[in-house]
Structure 1
Amino acid sequence: MNNILTPLKIKNIEIKNRVVLPPLVRFSMIEEDGYVTSKLLKWYEGIARDGVGMIIVEATCVSSDGKLRENQLGIWDDSFIEGLSKIALIGKKYEIPMLIQIHHAGFGKNIKDVEGTILDDILEKFVEAFKRAKKCGFDGIEIHGAHTYLLSQLNSRLWNTREDKYGGDFQKRMYFNKTLIERTRELFDENFILGYRMGGNEPSLIDGIEIAKYLEKLGVDLLHISTGIPEERFRQAAKIDNFPENYPEEKSFNLDWVIYMGVQIKKHLNIPVIGVRNIRTEEQVSYLIENNLLDMVAVGRAMIFTNRWMKKARESYLRRIKNETK
C-alpha cells in the first residue's frame, strides 16, 4: 500500500514522496518587472530543504500583456533565463524535481471574439517559453489550463463559441493544446515531464473527464486537477456527501469538492493525478494516498501559513505509524 512517503517515478524522474507544492503565485516577493528576486529564491529553498516530493513553480507568463498582475514572473524573453535558472538549481541542490507552470491570463468571456492572429501569436510565445524553461534546467513544464485563464477559456464549451480553428466542437476547442504539444514534443524526453493543470469542471465534471482523457492521448505525463469555468449548478453537482466507506467523519477532516473531481478523473486515466485544494493536514494527504484515490496531493496555503509543514507532516506520519504498530 502506498503512503505519503512512498516514492514515485515519472519517466526517469525520481519523486521521493507524494506531496507537491502547487504553483502558488507569490506576488509579494516579485517586482513589477517580473524577474526572480532573492525573496523568491529563499521561499523555494525553504520548501525544497524540508523535502517535498515535487515543486511546481508559480504561474510564469509568456507575454508581458498576458499577466495576472504586474508583479508576476515572466518568461517572455531570454533575459528571464538567468533568474529562473537559479530556482531550478535549488531543485537540483536538494534533489527535488521542479516543474515550472507556463501561463497566459487570456481574455475572459471575450475569448470568443479574439482575432485568430492574436491566438496564433500567443501559441508561438508558448512554444518559445517551453524552450526557455528547458534551458533553465527545470525537470518539466506544467501548462496552466485551469482557473478561467487562456487555455481554460479555450477548453470550455461555455465560453469558447468560436467558429474558427480555435473553437466550436471539442476537437477545435482542443486545437491550442494539441498544436502546442505537437510542436514541442521533442523537448519532452525521458528526463523532462509534461504536466497540465486543468479544470475538472469545464463546465461540468463530465467535460473534465473528456478533456483529461484527451490530454493523456496527446502525451501529457501528469495531470493536476483544479477548477475551470463552472456554472454554479455544475459546481454543486461535482460535490459529494461522502468518499469511500472508511471516510473519516470529523468535520475537521473535510475534503473539498475539487479533490473529489480529481478522485473521479483519476479513475479514467493511466497517468498520475495530483489533487489540490484546501489540504491542510498530513492525515488528509495520507487518507487520499493510502486509499489510492490520488497519486499525489498538493499542499498550498498550509505551506505558507504553517512553518516547515513538510517536516512536521513527515514526523506526524512516522509517529502515527509507530503508535499503530505498538
Structure 2
Amino acid sequence: MFDSPFDAVDFAGMRLRNRFALAPMTRVSAEANGRANEAMVDHYVRYAKGGFGLLITEGIYPDQAASQGYEHQPGLADALQTESWVPIVKAVHAADSKIIAQIMHAGAQLQYNRYVEQPIGLSEQTPVATPLGLYGDQEAWYEPKPMTETDFDQVMNGFLGAIRNAQAAGFDGVELHGANGYLLHEMLSTYFNTREDKFGGSLEKRAKFILDLVKSAREMVDDDFVIGIRLSQITITDQDYQWPEGEQGFRWLVESLAEAGIDFIHTTDISVDRVALRDSDKSLAQVVREAGVALIVNGGINEDNIEQIAEAYPDALMALGKAALADPAFVRKVQGEEPVEQLDFAMLQPIANVENEMRWRAEQKDA
C-alpha cells in the first residue's frame, strides 16, 4: 500500500515519482501532416514540470487509412511522424516523468480524415447525437462502411505498426484506446457491433480482436515496454450505454485482458465510483481493483476528492483531465497546499487546441 499519492511508486513495471497521471485529452495541435511540433513539446513538458508522474498522450492515429479522427491530430503511422515525437519523449523524461502513447482508431466517430472520405465501423451505425464542436465544425456524423475481413487485418497491422513506432520513439509504453466511442470501444458495444460473424454476437466474439491485438503486441515488444488499455461503457456523446453482460461479463473481460498480457487497465467514467454495470452496485474501477489488475482511475478527480480516491484505490494511479487542463501545475500545487486554477472553457474556444489555450492564458495574465 502507498502511504501517500505523492510518494514514488512502482506501477506496471515503471518507477513513477507519484500516483498522478495526465489523462489523455484531444488537443488537435499537430501539423496538418500528423507530425508533433514544438508547441506540443511545451504542452507536455508543462505537465511533467507541474508534477505529474505519468503522462498519457492524446489519441494518436496508427495508420494512413481510416484511423485519423480529427484535423491536426498527431499520428504514429510513418517514420517522420515517429521521429517528431522523439523531442517530446526526451523532454518529458528530462523532467523526471514517464510518457505513454495512446493509440486510437476513430472508427465511426470520425470528424476529419486526410486519407479517406468515409469512416469504417463495425456496422453502418452512426454515433449518438452530434459531433463535438471543440474539435471541428462538422454538424453530423458520416455513415461508416461496415468493416470487411481485409479491414480488420489492416487495422491490426496499423495498431501493431504504431506500437512498434512508439517503442522506437522512446515511449515507455502504449495505451490502447478502447473507450469513449472509438473503434476498439465500438467492437465491445452492442450499439455499434451488430455483426453476426466471428467479430460479433457474444462478448467473447466482440472482444476477440482486442485480445488478439494485446497478445500480438505483447509478443512483439520488449518485456519492459508497457501495454495498457483504456475502457469505458460511455462515449463522448452517450453517457447511458451499458454492456448487456453486466458485472460478470466485465470481470471476464478484465481477466481475459490480463491473461493476454495487458499491464494495466485505465477505467474512465463520469466519476470513478459511479455505479455503472447492469445488475451490479459496482463501478468499472471497483471490478478491476477486485480482479487484482494494475489500475488507473479517471472521472471527476479534483483537489476536493483526491485523498478519498487515493485511500479507496491505494494501488491505483489517478488520471486527471479537466483539473489538469485547468492547472498543469496541479500536482505540485496540491502537494504544496497552494490553491489551484479552475477550468474556464473559454480557453478551449473556438477549437480545443494548444494555441487557443496559450492565447487565453496570456490574455488572463495581461488582464
Output the TM-score relative to the length of structure 1. Answer: 0.81
Give me the identity figure in percent. 25
Partner of 1:162, secondary structure, is coil
The whole-number CA distance in structure 2 between the counterparts of 1:63 and 1:76 is 5
The whole-number CA distance in structure 2 between the counterparts of 1:78 and 1:266 is 36
The whole-number CA distance in structure 2 between the counterparts of 1:96 and 1:56 is 11
Partner of 2:291, secondary structure, is coil
Q: Is the 8 A contact 2:102 2:176 kept in 1?
A: yes
The whole-number CA distance in structure 2 between the counterparts of 1:203 and 1:262 is 11
Q: Which residue of 2 aligns with 1:305?
A: 326
Quickly say closer, same or farther: Cα 1:169–1:139, change in 2 above 3 A: same
Quickly say closer, same or farther: Cα 1:159–1:294, change in 2 above 3 A: farther
The whole-number CA distance in structure 1 between the counterparts of 2:155 and 2:277 is 34
Deviations, residues 140-181 of structure 1 (Å, cap 9, x unaligned): 010000111100111123332212232222222112112212
Displacement of 1:126? 0.6
Quickly say closer, same or farther: Cα 1:146–1:238, change in 2 above 3 A: farther
Displacement of 1:235? 5.4
Displacement of 1:300? 1.1
Q: Which residue of 1 aligns with 2:90?
A: 89
Residue 196 of structure 2 aligns to which amino acid in structure 1?
E
Q: Which residue of 1 aligns with 2:77?
A: 76
Q: Which residue of 1 aligns with 2:159?
A: 126
Aligned counterpart for 1:170 among listed residues 203, 209, 224? 203
Higher helix share: 1
Quickly say closer, same or farther: Cα 1:138–1:132, change in 2 above 3 A: same
Partner of 1:268, secondary structure, is helix
Partner of 1:75, secondary structure, is coil
Aligned counterpart for 1:224 among listed residues 266, 283, 290? 266
Q: Which residue of 2 aligns with 1:144?
A: 177
Residue 264 of structure 1 aligns to which amino acid in structure 2?
Q
The whole-number CA distance in structure 2 between the counterparts of 1:89 and 1:167 is 41
Displacement of 1:6? 2.6
Unaligned runs of 5+ in 1: 229-233, 241-259, 318-326
The whole-number CA distance in structure 1 between the counterparts of 2:80 and 2:171 is 16
Q: Which residue of 2 aligns with 1:253?
A: none
- Farther off after superposition, 71-80 or 8-17: 8-17
- Farther off after superposition, 195-204 or 97-106: 195-204
Q: Is the 8 A contact 2:56 2:100 kept in 1?
A: yes
- Farther off after superposition, 303-312 or 121-130: 303-312
Q: Is the 8 A contact 1:266 1:294 kept in 2?
A: no
Q: Pairwise CA RMSD of aligned residues?
A: 2.6
Output the TM-score relative to the length of structure 2. Answer: 0.72
Quickly say closer, same or farther: Cα 1:216–1:200, change in 2 above 3 A: farther
Unaligned runs of 5+ in 2: 110-119, 124-145, 235-240, 339-367
Q: Is the 8 A contact 1:76 1:125 kept in 2?
A: yes
Quickly say closer, same or farther: Cα 1:78–1:165, change in 2 above 3 A: farther
Q: Is the 8 A contact 1:209 1:268 kept in 2?
A: no
Q: Which residue of 2 aligns with 1:111?
A: 122
Residue 57 of structure 1 aligns to which amino acid in structure 2?
T
Q: Which residue of 1 aligns with 2:16?
A: 15
